[in-house]
Amino acid sequence: MKKLIILFIVGLLLVNVDGLHAVEKSKYPKAVNQKRPGSLGGGYAKDNFNVYYRGYKIDASVSSFRYIDDGYAKDNWAVYFDGRKIGDASAGSFRYLGGGYAKDNWKVFYCGEVVRDASASSFEYTKKGYAKDNWNTYLNGEIVGGSNLSDLGGRYSKDTWNVYYNGYKIESASANSFRYLGGGYAKDSWTVFYRGEVIRDASASSFEYMEDGYGKDTWNVFYRGRKVRD
């Protein structure tokens, strides 16, 4: 009889312990299955609840967020560059052009910054950091000439009125007769240039580029823009 009583008491204790475990478990809801952040490219990533840029959470819509290219990304409401929201950009019409340039229906952007005085309707990316609209040509987001700017090679370019080296105007150069010779050398009807700088004592009428940094005119030989001494 005593054994039956003891077994009965043990059974009651086990039932109470299981009940306590059930109560304790009910205090803590099951963990939600949150996936690890998946990389989207360009330093962007997202999981079920958040969007990240290089490990830092950014304020963006997870469901519609996508990486575009070259640091640009967008969701249904905003555009981002390197994780920073571009306040002036319209997500609905935004598109990437290449070379760091992008535009929406109203504005043009270079590396996330507005390109001032650029016409979005006619703006297009050309090559090597150059872009243009109906009025101007741009290099790295800055105006460097008129819309008819042509690339001559060797970092030289020109439009109807001016000549440029690496995007900077060469004040003493005549666009009408200017031409690139090679190896960094160029000339117009009066002056010879090396990497955009005037070569003193060089005769434009007879100057020609040779090779390996050398050029010559009727009287002198030059190496990388400097006259070779006798």
Q: pTM (2 decimals)?
A: 0.68
Tokens of 45: 């990533």
pLDDT reading at 17 higher than 60:
no
Beta bridge partners of 39: 45
pLDDT (tens digit, 9 = 90+) per residue, 64-76?
999 999 999 999 9
Closest of 205, 226, 229 to residue 217, by C-alpha: 205
Report phi then psi at 75, rounded to 5: -120, -165
The DSSP 8-state label assigned to residue 134 in this structure reads S
Contacts of 20 (CB under 8 A, 6+ apart): none
Give pLDDT, residue 217. 97
Q: Whose structure tokens read 């070379």? A: 99
pLDDT (tens digit, 9 = 90+) per residue, 173-196?
999 999 999 999 999 999 999 999
